[in-house]
Structure 1
Amino acid sequence: MAIRASEQIIHKAAWLYYTHGLRQDEVARQLNISRASVAMYLKKARDTGIVNISTSTQLFTDDVLARQLEDVFGLSAVWVVPQERHAIDPAAEVPAVAASVFIELVNRGDRIGVAWGRTVYTMADVMSFADLQDVTVVQLCGNLGAPYSYRPDQCTMEIARRLNAKGLNFYAPLVLSSEPLAQGLRNEPVIREQLASVADCDLALFSVGTVDEDSHVVKCGALSPDDMHALRDNGAAGVIAGQMIDAKGELLDCDYNRRVISADLGSIRSIPKRMMVVQEDSKLDPLLAALAGGLCSHLVVTAPMAKRLLEHRKSDLRPLSQ
């Protein structure tokens, strides 16, 4: 059921108070209403059942932009995070919404594949604790060097901790020094079994990386800036679970990908719920590539990014004579 316009202020007040932990006077200042109104809205939220994860995130999915993105890109569900004046911190709002959405999507007994990155780690850091039975969280790609602050194993284990779930790490490097070494490691029974089991996941969580010097794979030392520039010139458009994809969302044919230890894209596509979270403005082209490749079924984005996605699709559909 859609949220009526008259109920939106109630949902916003409940979101700020219960999710962000603001005091009632702080909520009043954020929404430019009286403290008495906040107290009234919170009571109404409790009385009508608005105060729960599902209905709070409905505030972000019940949006014209979200419906349009679902229709245009054939997605199962989209959550659009507005950049409004009541937002506490735009950089923190997307992970907060995504963390609540993620918990909504998890069912008891699920097997969850988790990639890595700043967005995923921030989500894990703000995620509510849940006691779900028989849930397993598995790492989708090999690991990175110790100095990196949001390694794949850290993302996996923190999310498992938040869900009171079993966590399974990938005890292999993300990138090997040679193709034969990478192939040999993939053939090891433990690694081969873990890679094969990705297709059995019910839900995957990841973002998509850029192909520039700000990319995670460059910052962690897996690639040099010059290497990344060369891959981009060769057609790289984005990074999924440490792997280079082209503009169609297919695995790029390159030496780097042949040295990577990660779930293959076919296994990722077979996962029923593939949740992608994007908050950076710089990720339009990588996100378009991931969407083109069918690597996303559930999407959390900002309103500006949602508008850019729709505008890009409209420009693709315009006749060449225009």
Structure 2
Amino acid sequence: MVAAASTPTPDHMRLLIKVARMYHERGVRQPEIAAHLNMSQPRVSRLLKEAVDRGVVRTVVVSPEGVHAELEEALVARYGLRDAVVVEVEGSGADVIPALAAATATYLDATLKGGDVIGVSSWSATLLESVKVMRARTSSGAQEVVQIVGGSGSPEVQLHATRLTSRLAELTGARPVFAPSAALVGSRELRVLLSREPAMVDVMQAWSRLTLALLGIGSLDPSPLLRRSGNAITAQDQRALKKLGAVGDVCARYFDADGNSVDAPFNDRLIGIEPDQLRAVERRIAVAGGMDKVAAIRGAVRGRWINILVTDVDVARELLND
């Protein structure tokens, strides 16, 4: 701001306001203002800057309907996120997936910086829909797209995990890296054996190169897609998790309401990225919405499982009411 000591004369203020109104309200260009008022263009430019410095002109950004910048900023401040995207969902009780998918596709298109190594959760209907509506990039957006949780499942839905990874790789000009195993195997011994297979070793080594993780957030009740895949937990495991205070998961790693990991009875049978390895990824984008997932999303942001959130406006408001 201009120092208080440099108090302008009334005549100077009148000129200042005249120039500001011509430029900001009437849309007159600076050369035309200079000609009309018989002064140099540099002086017009100085007067316009002074009008801002003195508070005569103030910039106000007005968000259009459907854009929730204030909610996004509040989420970032409240939970220490790197970024947040809040979308409008049309109609009460409407499916949130299309709106979340469109926002995610746009966000990725704008923020992929080239050379990224993208880790992707295999069993998310929202992520698959995001990839469906994403546009191909004219320049390479990534080096690799890597499955970060077992991508094998029942034959009728196996195509889902493969399509998600391969399509995202195709769109970003990357090499797809598939995890040739189920997410949840039958025993600890089998997990150890599978983890030693050369193809699985390559996948696990790629996890240390990740610069971005694209994630879903699951609630305690497995999604229909996950249930059909054969990678869902049993009803007995679900009851055990509930007793442990679990509210949700990221990559089949379950956590409580504060985001703390819980000692799930099947952790030693999981083939997927470890929690510490996931948290080391620079950008961890979670796409999740719907009021049934509020507890899981809150736990995920509290526990720093994610640092970028794409969600709907109702969930955002509920998170801020916490």
Q: TM-score range by the shorter chain?
A: 0.7 to 0.9
Structure 2 counterparts to residues 21-60 of structure 1, below 5 A: 59=67
Runs of 4+ in structure 1 off by over 6 angstroms are none
Q: Please report the TM-score for the alignment, with normalisation by the length of structure 2.
A: 0.73
- Which residue of 135, 138, 143 maps to 2:146? 138
**1:265 CA drift (Å):** 1.1
Does 1:299 find its partner at 2:309? yes
- Which residue of 207, 229, 234 maps to 2:244? 234
- CA displacement 1:170-212 (0-9 Å, x = unmatched): 1112111111111222233442342233132111101100112
Distance 1:100 1:240 in 2: 22
**1:219 CA drift (Å):** 3.9
Distance 1:79 1:179 in 2: 39
Does 1:128 find its partner at 2:142? no
Distance 2:222 2:172 in 1: 34
Structure 2 counterparts to residues 133-282 of structure 1, below 5 A: 133=140, 135-143=143-151, 144-148=153-157, 151-214=160-223, 216-222=225-231, 223-282=233-292
- Which residue of 311, 314, 318 maps to 1:308? 318
- 5+ residue gaps, structure 2, are 1-58
Change in Cα spacing, 1:240 to 1:91, as seen in structure 2 (3 Å) is closer
**In structure 2, what residue type is equivalent to 1:152?**
A
Cα root mean square deviation, aligned: 2.5
Distance 2:267 2:196 in 1: 16
- 5+ residue gaps, structure 1, are 13-58, 313-322
Q: Please report the TM-score for the alignment, with normalisation by the length of structure 1.
A: 0.73
CA contact (8 A) 2:88 2:99 kept: no
Distance 1:248 1:192 in 2: 33
- CA displacement 1:288-313 (0-9 Å, x = unmatched): 1111221111111111100000111x
Distance 1:173 1:3 in 2: 52
**1:154 CA drift (Å):** 2.4
**1:216 CA drift (Å):** 4.8
CA contact (8 A) 2:177 2:203 kept: no
Percent of residue pairs identical: 23
**1:91 CA drift (Å):** 3.9
Distance 2:180 2:158 in 1: 17
Structure of larger gyration radius: 2
Change in Cα spacing, 1:302 to 1:98, as seen in structure 2 (3 Å) is same
